[in-house]
Amino acid sequence: MEMGNGGSSCNRKKKEVFKVLLVDDGRVEAYRKAMRAGELMVEYPGHFVCDSGYLKVGHRIQGLLAHQELQGRKFYFLLPMDLLYSVLTHDELSSFNYKASRSRPTLNNFANTIFSHFFVCMCPPQPEKLRSLADAGAETDETYSKLRSWRPALETINESPSRA
């Protein structure tokens, strides 16, 4: 047999996997086929797709456009529409992290490694608060709606006449 004439399995292109965390129930689904954000939004009405790499506390949560293709080796959130363009709080990020870490067995520690970075960098661990947030249900929604809106304090500044 001559070298170079045989078929090689090394040349086959691997399909890259991307993962989506369904925040409402904490499930993580892995997809291997090429997919656009709009396809997920049709499958889960009332939700939008968000790239986990762009989540920053104190910044607005931005969704992907419907025509944007999901990239392999990335992790995405499927979030309720009422979170679109809202300011991400420590509590929300902690809740996402907690739900992702609870689904760890299906991810082979993927969630633990990816979200520990967000968790360590952006907020100190508070296990009691995380458990209460995940179990609070309606209370959590009320808390988030209060925390998300921010307005600067507009206090009157009393000026004294300048001495020349």
21 φ/ψ angles, rounded to the nearest 5 degrees: -95, 120
Amino acid at 152: P
On whether the pTM is more than 0.85, the answer is no
In tens, the pLDDT along 1-52 reads 445 555 444 444 556 677 776 777 778 888 888 889 999 899 889 999 998 8
**Quick one: pLDDT at residue 66?**
93
CATH of domain 15-147: 3.10.20.30
**Quick one: pLDDT at residue 127?**
56
Cα–Cα distances in angstroms (integers) from residue 36 to residues 64, 65, 67, 75, 82, in the given order? 9, 9, 6, 14, 21
Give the residue with greater pLDDT, 36 vs 130. 36
* Dihedral angle sign, alpha carbons of residues 133, 138, 142, 145: positive
Give the residue with greater pLDDT, 131 vs 10. 131
